[in-house]
Amino acid sequence: MRPASCKTSPLLSRTDPGWGLHQSETRLACIDTPVWYVFGVSRSALAHEVTVARTIRFPASLRDRIAADADRCGRSFESQVLALLRRHYGADVDIAPSPPEILALAQASLADVPDADARLITRKLRDRER
Partner 1 sequence: MPAEPVLLDTDTLSELSRGNVHVNTHARTYLGAFGALTISAITVFERLRGYRLAIQQGKPFHRQLQAFEALVGTCVVLPFDADAADVAASIWSACTRSQRQNIGDILIAATAVARQIPLITRNRRDFEVFIRSAGLSLRLMDWSKPSRAPRKTP
- Of 25, 29, 51, 69, the one binding partner 1 (CB under 8 A) is 51
Q: Nearest distance from residue 109's CB to partner 1, in Å?
A: 4
In terms of Cα–Cα distance, which of 46, 57, 49, 40 is closest to 98? 40
Work out whether 52 is an interface residue with partner 1 (CB under 8 A): yes
Cβ atoms of 40 and 94 closer than 8 Å: yes
Q: How many residues sit in the footprint of partner 1 (CB under 8 A)?
A: 50
Work out whether 113 is an interface residue with partner 1 (CB under 8 A): yes
3-class DSSP state of 117: helix
Main-chain dihedrals φ then ψ at residue 28, nearest 5 degrees: -60, -35
Interface region with partner 1, contact rule CB under 8 A, candidates 29-37, 46-54, 58-66, 77-85: 46-54
The 3-class SS string of 52-101 reads: CEEEEEECHHHHHHHHHHHHHHCCCHHHHHHHHHHHHHCCCCECCCCHHH
Work out whether 76 is an interface residue with partner 1 (CB under 8 A): no
Work out whether 36 is an interface residue with partner 1 (CB under 8 A): no
Binding site for partner 1 (CB under 8 A): 3, 5-6, 8-12, 14-15, 19, 22-23, 38, 40, 42, 45-46, 48, 50-53, 96-97, 99-103, 105-113, 117-118, 120-128
